[in-house]
Amino acid sequence: MTVPATLSDPPLPGASNPPPVGGSAGAAPNRQTASTDSEGRASGVAPSSQTADVVVIVYDAGADVVEVERQRTAASLARQTLESSRFAVVELGDLELAALPAQLPPWACLVAAGDELDPPLLEALLASAHPGCVTLGYTALTTPDGSRAGFDQALNRLIGVAAPTGGEGVVAVGGGEGAAPPVDAGPSSRVVGQLPPFVHGWLLPSSWLLEAAAELGSGPTGAAAEAGRGWSEPSAEAGPGGREPAAEPGGLTATDLWRWIKTRRSPALAACPPTAGAVYRSRRLPTAVSQVADELAWRGSERLLRPSKETPATRLQYVASELNHAAAETLAVSYAFAPFMDTAGIVATKRMMAKGAPFDAVSHSVRAHVKQDAGLLGLVQDTLGHLYRTLGPADPADTPGVDEFARQSMLAIQPRLDARGPYRQLYSRAQWPASNVVAALVKARFPQTFWQAEFSDPLLLNMVGEERQADRAPIACAAEIDAAIRRAGLPVTTSQNYFEWVEDIAFALADEIVFTNPNQRDFMLSRLERSRSELAARGRELARVSEHPTLPAAYYRMRRAPIKLPPGRTNIGYFGNFYATRSADDLLGPLSRLAPAARRRLALHIFTEKPKRVRETLAEAGLDDCVFAARALPYFEFLNACTRMDWLVMADAHVRGVYPLNPYLPSKWSDYRGSGTKVWAMTEDGSILSGKPLDAATPLGDDDATVAMLERLAGDPGGA
């Protein structure tokens, strides 16, 4: 492909550029001032006094920008920015291109009134310019008062391309003085589709402005169209400003010009490399939502409009996620967030759904350990912005991996922090413990952010009374987090055990600490009271109890589970895995004691991650006539299956004799209770589960009571 030709390609920097009429090298920078008519449109240009390579056009970009702002911007450019005879400044009212003379310097740059052009930018643009190309520089979108500048936008990411990739869609990246023109960088629908509708701060051939004005109905006419007009005295015969009025007065918009360039010139893009101080600072898009709307206009339009196998819902979700990201003031940190079918991550996803506000999330890929269910993201599709997923080994005790998770997470959110500053709110859920590390690091760097830290379970002590152990030394950010704790005037743990430290940092830095039940709260705080009473007192003051959320009934009907239930039997559902503190023996032992006739009237359906192993156990025990094992269902199918059982069964964790109180509330209870199906629980005395409105309860480990319950269910097939 070849570079598209224009009517008059401007010469490259360093070439012999014919000066405009009256030009002379080495003169002081010049501000060309146009007088305006009663409607604020430019009506003429004062004579030039120097050779110019670029005309900088300052114009009123919106009704909210008054003439004094345009004049201030132009004066600032002339005084501070254009310290070179290569540049000239001209003011327009609206973007009335017809008010420009017919002969211009070879290049043009548009500046909206109120915006700022860093001094080195025009030089950098010229150094990277190529004929027939639009040359782009970095743009910062600032707040109206200029106090905060954001660089996280698609235009800058486009410029950040390190080198031409070759083939269709090449973006030419200038390399400064002496850089070769792009190879095979001709027109491409892909490149043109990426041309952002933000013409300010571009370097473009000035002839395009006049061609656009002519074709769009407001081009130069009369005396102003004479070939020799240029930067000269206005013609008295042509009326005020040296030209006859356009047939259809009224300025173009920047979008009009962008559309014309995109469709009529199909330009390749050249981008000047990032240079300190070479930035266009725009106040035209002061809010993040406006910014993302601008991005979607060019980065999203291709995806939304081109032929694609994507469903309309997928495309709309892409738009929604970008808009949510732009509005997000909350960051969620959940190591195994949706779409992973991890219990802690599912609860975190439901928490964010309940909050109902736009948010971004940081997670880690745990695909080596946990299956995925894409439907889980549907819970937050209305509010989820960007989901940042880090990569690496997933092991709760792998502290080098925790350090890498923290490093990648901060890198992921840094563009958002640069663009808009810190998040206002921060939510984390541990398990997995690494969630606390990233959240604490964010809090350490941005103390004004409100951190809500939730514990799903105790982190230091496991279910059998043992301390989990891992060395926290490899976690590089630990020193920064500890320093923040000291600044808060609180004690820092001297323990090198990661699991003790990762609990303590939440008690020291979080603004609210959420427990799923009061037993868990008292259990975790009692440990602190024995070692660091000050932290314990803070934790108790900030503590809040919130049980796992239950979804509305509609979610139980979203996806029908592909299960078959035998008629004439009482169908009992058990969903989950078996391990040391929740053993299959609590059910299978009592079942084996039933009479064959009673067993034939029961059907226990076990949905678990390792059904083959369970089937082998059932065959050995001779229970495969009444117990059926199947693979764990995707989340919404699981919810639906709950509604179709006659009974649901669950059990407390075995901690009697290990801890004085049971700190665990199975999250399954929140899912079961929303199904409308009867629930039978095997509970420990004094546990939180034992106090729930159960349809039946038997003591955990009491096989006689369990046998009696099974006989009751067998005596009333279809539900007792």
Question: 149 forms bridges with which residues in the sheet?
Answer: 142
* Least confidently predicted of 102-106, 336-340, 378-382: 102-106
Cis peptide before 231 (omega within 30 of 0): no
Token look-up 């701060």 returns 201
- What was the pLDDT predicted at 406? 93
* Helix-helix angle 518-531:498-509, to 10 degrees: 100
DSSP string for residues in 72-115: HHHHHIIIII--STTEEEEE-SSB-GGGS-SS--SEEEEEETT-
pLDDT band at 158 (very low <50, low <70, confident <90, very high): low
- What was the pLDDT predicted at 230? 30
- What was the pLDDT predicted at 240? 27
pLDDT, average across residues 208-225:
61
Strands 204-205 and 384-390: what pairing? unpaired
pLDDT band at 60 (very low <50, low <70, confident <90, very high): confident
pLDDT, average across residues 83-96:
73
- What was the pLDDT predicted at 586? 86
Please answer whether residues 591 and 618 qualify as being in contact, where contact means their C-beta atoms are separated by less than 8 angstroms: no
Q: What are all long-range contacts of 690-694, with beta carbons under 8 Å and residues at least 24 apart?
A: 690/652
Distance CA 199, CA 265 (A): 14
pLDDT, greater one: 539 or 96: 539
Token look-up 């046998």 returns 707
State the CB neighbour count (10 A cutoff) for residue 553: 12
Token look-up 């300052």 returns 58
Instruction: List the beta strands (DSSP E) in 466-569.
Output: 512-515, 543-545
- Does pLDDT of 548 surpass 70? yes
Distance CA 487, CA 484 (A): 5
Distance CA 432, CA 364 (A): 10
Question: 579 forms bridges with which residues in the sheet?
Answer: 582
- What was the pLDDT predicted at 367? 86
Distance CA 281, CA 575 (A): 57
* Least confidently predicted of 34-43, 201-210, 300-309, 666-675: 34-43
Please answer whether residues 523 and 666 qualify as being in contact, where contact means their C-beta atoms are separated by less than 8 angstroms: no
What are the tokens at 147?
Answer: 């106090």
Residue 365 vs residues 459, 474, 576, 629: alpha-carbon distances, Å: 21, 20, 22, 28
Please answer whether residues 132 and 268 qualify as being in contact, where contact means their C-beta atoms are separated by less than 8 angstroms: yes
Burial class from Cβ neighbours inside 10 Å (0-12, 13-18, 19+) for residue 527 reads middle
pLDDT band at 213 (very low <50, low <70, confident <90, very high): confident
pLDDT, average across residues 418-443:
94
- What was the pLDDT predicted at 393? 83
**What percent of the chain is helix, strand and coil (3-state, nearest 5)?**
35, 20, 45
pLDDT band at 176 (very low <50, low <70, confident <90, very high): very low
Q: Which of 329, 328, 332 is nearest to 514 (CA)?
A: 332
pLDDT, greater one: 189 or 602: 602
**234 three-class SS:** coil
Q: Which of 129, 125, 128, 31 is nearest to 83 (CA)?
A: 31
pLDDT band at 364 (very low <50, low <70, confident <90, very high): very high
- Does pLDDT of 318 surpass 90? no
* Helix-helix angle 703-714:585-592, to 10 degrees: 60
- Does pLDDT of 509 surpass 50? yes
DSSP string for residues in 404-432: HHHHHHHHHHHHHHHHH-S-SEEEEEESS
pLDDT band at 440 (very low <50, low <70, confident <90, very high): very high
- Does pLDDT of 174 surpass 70? no
Mean pLDDT, rounded, of the chain:
75
How many whole angstroms from its chain centre is CA 81?
Answer: 36
Residue 211 vs residues 207, 219, 253: alpha-carbon distances, Å: 6, 7, 15
Residue 257 vs residues 51, 208, 240, 254: alpha-carbon distances, Å: 26, 9, 25, 5
- Digit-coded pLDDT (tens) for 611-625: 888 888 888 888 888
Distance CA 138, CA 158 (A): 10
- Digit-coded pLDDT (tens) for 573-593: 999 877 554 567 888 889 999
**54 three-class SS:** strand
Question: 607 forms bridges with which residues in the sheet?
Answer: 575, 630
How many whole angstroms from its chain centre is CA 516?
Answer: 28
Please answer whether residues 59 and 110 qualify as being in contact, where contact means their C-beta atoms are separated by less than 8 angstroms: yes
Please answer whether residues 359 and 383 qualify as being in contact, where contact means their C-beta atoms are separated by less than 8 angstroms: yes
Q: Could you write out the three-class secondary structure of 544-585?
A: EECCCCCCCHHHHHCCCCCCCCCCCCEEEEEECCCECCECCH
- What was the pLDDT predicted at 124? 82
- What was the pLDDT predicted at 609? 85
What are the tokens at 34?
Answer: 């146009």
* Residues contacting residue 493 through CB under 8 Å, at least 6 positions apart: 500, 501, 504, 532
Please answer whether residues 377 and 352 qualify as being in contact, where contact means their C-beta atoms are separated by less than 8 angstroms: no
Distance CA 501, CA 505 (A): 6
Strands 204-205 and 107-112: what pairing? antiparallel
Q: Which of 409, 419, 420 is nearest to 387 (CA)?
A: 409
**137 three-class SS:** coil
Residue 525 vs residues 30, 463, 555, 653, 660: alpha-carbon distances, Å: 72, 17, 36, 20, 14
What are the tokens at 39?
Answer: 């409607």
- Does pLDDT of 516 surpass 90? yes
pLDDT, greater one: 64 or 272: 272
Token look-up 């059926």 returns 628
